[in-house]
Chains A and B, each alone.
Chain A
Amino acid sequence: MSTEGEPMVGGPGAHVAEGGGPPMSLEIFEVFRQEKEGGPMVHGGSLLAPDGELAAHYARELYGRRQESVRLWVVKRSAIHDVTDPDLLQPPMDRSFKKPVGYSAGIKQKLAEARERAGGQE
């Protein structure tokens, strides 16, 4: 049999238990699934659960009960480092030279000019 659960701590999505008891604190978990061995882990969706143990059970029911997964990763959303800073991800300067294709700004124009200079001596 499985181990005891972690203490139920407050968090987002606190629900009121049936029968008007104390609120049941739920946390958001993100579920990643692998369709076949060796394949990539793809985000499947999220769920609410009071702790990791039940989250794993619910992940199985929501993302694995039809045998559509061979592996699940169940992660507390709060454990994820959310990176959205535009200064990091969308810098204001032209950084196209960091792309694999090299410079992209005006590259077609430059190529056309180079051909012209060469005078068609190809």
Chain B
Amino acid sequence: MSALTGATGTSAHGLDDATRDALAELLLCMADDEFVLGYWDSEWTGIAPLLEEDVAFSSLAQDEIGHAAALYELLAGLTGEPADRIAYGREVDGYRQAALLDHARGDWAFSIARRFLYDTADAVRLDALAGSSYAPLAGLVAKMRREERYHLAHMHAWMVRLACGGEEPARRLAAACERLWPDALAVLAPPAGERRLLDAGILTESFATCRQRWLGELAPLFEELRLPFPFRPAPGASSSRARPAGAPAVADAGQPGRLEPTFPEPGPEGRTRHNDDFRWLWGELTSVYRSEPGATW
């Protein structure tokens, strides 16, 4: 991937090559997640269920593309490749968004479910980067978290309204969750070079731990809303491991009590194998860039 083949030797950021490449890969995954979600959600502009939501949802989509732009810039500073070329100049196979973000927008419930699953997973990922030793990333994450908190509240409001909004919205929302859960796990699949990122303090929590925190926080809500939650505690989990009321169920991966999917664990290609929905979107979102590569707009 072109974004990862920057200069060799000592990095200007005091990172060795392998650590810098691992950081670049992480940044690319995060940027592509935000970028692709922003494009999908912007498709609701003009056709959202009500005018006010139309404005709000479009604004949220713009926020995500803004986050992507900031992350691509960070990546550009690391590799020397221009941010625009990273964003628009790759072939389909070069994109690294999670499988969750490959799906077309679907119906309103599908877009809400996808966005809620993504925003909640992204929130725990950002938590694990807020104290990053890589100062430019820690600084950006601090800003992103302030916006994502609001995005999350907005999505939560819609999850509750659809789940409690009568038979059809609840049915559509449940179907969307059912369909999306396996692909949602790809958001927190451990990044390549995670060990190096942890050792360097760039990442302060493993993605396996992030995933447990994410699922632990979502479990009570999905139970309350009677939505599919296809996970169960790992064998050997003790129900007597009570936690204080209100505290999130935190469990380290590999320990009893961790939540495991009731479906087969998705393979490692969750960020590398893209579907036809995304191929179509890629054609759309890169069409202007490809019409005159390298042009200044």
Q: Are A48 and B157 in contact (CB under 8 A)?
A: no
A5 at the interface (CB under 8 A from B): yes
A15 within 8 A of B: yes
Are A61 and B166 in contact, with the CB atoms below 8 A? Answer: no
Contacts of A17 in B (CB 8 A): 49, 169
B75 to chain A, nearest CB (A): 27
| Chain B residues whose CB sits within 8 angstroms of the CB of A47 once the complex forms | 52
> A53 contacts the other chain (Cβ, under 8 Å)?
yes
Q: Are A58 and B53 in contact (CB under 8 A)?
A: yes
* A5 partner, pick from B56, B59, B161, B168, beta carbons under 8 A: B161
A61 / chain B contacts, CB cutoff of 8 Å: 52, 55-56, 59
Binds B, one of A21-29, A36-44, A79-87, A95-103: A21-29
Q: Which residue of A lies closest to B156 (CB)?
A: A1
Q: In the complex, A5 Cα to B157 Cα: how many Å?
A: 7
Contact between B56 and A21, CB atoms less than 8 A apart: no
Docked Cα-Cα span, A50 to B55, in Å, equals 15
Tell me if A2 and B157 are in contact (CB < 8 A). Answer: yes
Residue-wise interface mask of B (50-78) relative to A, using a CB-CB cutoff of 8 A (1 in contact, 0 not): 11110110010000000000000000000
A70 located at the interface, meaning its Cβ lies under 8 Å from any Cβ of chain B in the complex: no
By a CB distance below 8 angstroms, the chain B residues around A19 are 107-108, 168, 172
**A72 located at the interface, meaning its Cβ lies under 8 Å from any Cβ of chain B in the complex:** no
Q: Mark A60-84, 1 if CB is under 8 A from B, else 0.
A: 1110010000000000000000000
Shortest beta-carbon distance from B159 to chain A in Å: 9
Contacts of A58 in B (CB 8 A): 52-53, 55-56
A62 touches B55 (CB 8 A): yes
Q: CA–CA, A62 to B169, complex, Å?
A: 26
Are A15 and B157 interface neighbours, CB within 8 A?
no
Partner of B153, one of A1, A18, A26, A49: A1
Say yes or no: A57-B56 contact (C-beta < 8 A), given A1-B153, A2-B157. Answer: yes
Contact-residue size bin, chain B (C-beta under 8 Å from the other chain): 20 to 34
Q: What are the interface flags for B142-179 relative to A under an 8 Å C-beta threshold, 1 for contact and 0 otherwise?
A: 00000000101110110011001110110010000000
| Chain A residues closer than 8 Å to B165, beta-carbon distance | 8, 21-22
A1 and B152 form a contact (CB under 8 A): yes
Cβ 8 A contact of A49, one of B52, B59, B168, B221: B52
- With A58-B55, A58-B56 known as contacts, the answer to whether A26 contacts B50 (CB < 8 A) is yes
Contact at A21–B168, with CB atoms within 8 Å?
A: yes
A94 proximal to B (CB < 8 A) = no
> How far, in Å, is A20 (CB) from chain B's closest CB?
8
User: Nearest CB to that of B109 among chain A residues?
Assistant: A19
Q: Which residues of B contact A60 (CB under 8 A)?
A: 56, 150
Q: Which residues of B contact A49 (CB under 8 A)?
A: 52
Closest to A55 in B: B52
CB of A54 within 8 A of chain B?
Answer: yes
Contact of B51 among A48, A50, A53 (CB under 8 A): A48
* B161 lies within 8 A of A2 (CB): no
A116 an interface residue at 8 Å Cβ cutoff? Answer: no
A-B contact pairs, 26 of them (CB 8 A): A1-B153, A1-B156, A1-B221, A2-B153, A2-B157, A4-B160, A4-B164, A8-B165, A15-B49, A18-B108, A21-B165, A21-B166, A22-B166, A22-B168, A24-B49, A24-B50, A48-B50, A54-B52, A54-B157, A58-B52, A58-B53, A58-B56, A60-B150, A61-B59, A62-B55, A65-B59
* Chain B interface residues (CB < 8 Å from chain A): 49-53, 55-56, 59, 107-108, 150, 152-154, 156-157, 160-161, 164-166, 168-169, 172, 221
Q: Which 10 A-B pairs have the closest CB atoms?
A: A58-B52, A61-B56, A1-B156, A2-B153, A21-B168, A61-B59, A61-B55, A18-B49, A47-B52, A22-B166
